Amino acid sequence: MKFRDFLLTLIIVITGVLLYRSIPLIEVMIASHPKPVTPRGDLMQLEKSNIAIFEAAKPSVVYISTLQRVVDFWHMSVMDVPRGTGSGFVWDKFGHIVTNYHVIEGASEAVVTLSNGLGYKAVLVGADPTHDLAVLKIRPIPGVMKPVIIGDSSKLKVGQVVYAIGNPFGLDWTMTMGIISALNRVLEEKEGARIKGAIQTDAAINPGNSGGPLLDSAGRVIGVNTAIYSPNGANAGIGFAIPINLVNRVVSSIIAYGKYVPPRLGIESDDRFNAMLARRFGIEGVAVLGIEPSSPAAAAGLRPTIVAPDGSVQIGDIIVAVDGHTVRSFEELQEQIQKHNHGESVTLTILRNNRYIQRTIPLA
């Protein structure tokens, strides 16, 4: 082999070895460059709908922080300390904010943070612990406060998609999605209060979401998030909301009177007497035992039960149905009455002298 051929062969071998050893370096150089982004195409229609609902509702949802006044007897001073937080939403353009009663319970001061990130001191308009609702008021902020759109909870169906929105930490909004799992649930609240007709959902409702709105797929408020079923303190996929039709009646009354004033017929009854009628005479209904003067019942001519001096009893009117819904106790009668607002009328089916008659009565 000539020297020239040997030298050429040696150069080829050395070059091959160098190239082989440089391959990892070349791979690192190539891999260190960002990978190209693959376009995903258009969002799904469901995703677009979710985003639109969230963006539309966000300006209406507020963050509520509360303080509690405590006395330091050691230093003989009074101070406000943080008590709790929760969510709420803008009810109207006048600055009314709706939240849960338990969010502000025991607080000496509340601050409402709007979508502009600024906090405003609130005053308590009124509260109704029996329905776990409270109304706060701040000065109206034009262009910032966006009132919610109200839906109709009487037309809800199990299986509907719902969204729970809150502002749990005052940093940003959160949204969870689920379905209506059940309707007409009964919530047992503190001090024996019972909220009837509650909406059950599997949309995650965390403690910071209390007081926030539950929305339907049209972005309307159908309930106020109020509680979760949690054996261990975490969300267990069972949340509850107060139906908006009830919220609407209670909030309107609180704004008008500073408290919830339920509509009334103006009658007196006793379920022990009603049970005796059902047991002895097979008559199921609500016996009118007394009538308040100048009440709707008095104006409609309802007749009370009369006990004569000799102890004999003259049975008066017995209300057996309200708007076609059978009532067997005074509590059931009250439940039907409280589905209405002041000034609305109800149609009573009355048993009088063994005959059924009907009376349409406006509520006071």
**Which residues belong to the active site?**
102, 132, 210
**Which runs of consecutive H residues, i.e. helices, occur in 96-243?**
101-104
Instruction: Please give the Cα distance from 111 to 59 (Å, whole number).
Output: 17
Any residues with CB less than 8 A from the CB of 63 and at least 6 apart, and which?
85, 87, 88, 112, 113, 167, 168, 169, 170
Q: Quick count: other Cβ atoms within 10 Å of Cβ 307?
A: 11
Q: Quick count: other Cβ atoms within 10 Å of Cβ 86?
A: 25
**For 284, how many CA atoms within 13 A lie in the half-sphere containing its CB?**
6
Helix (H) or strand (E) holding 290: strand 290-291
Instruction: Please give the Cα distance from 334 to 332 (Å, whole number).
Output: 5
- Can you give the length of the chain in residues? 364
Residue pair 202/238 in contact (Cβ under 8 Å)? The answer is yes
Instruction: Please give the Cα distance from 270 to 268 (Å, whole number).
Output: 7
Q: Quick count: other Cβ atoms within 10 Å of Cβ 284?
A: 16
Residue pair 64/87 in contact (Cβ under 8 Å)? The answer is yes
The β-bridge partners of 196 are 186
State the burial class of residue 24 (Cβ atoms within 10 Å of its Cβ: 0-12, 13-18, 19+): exposed
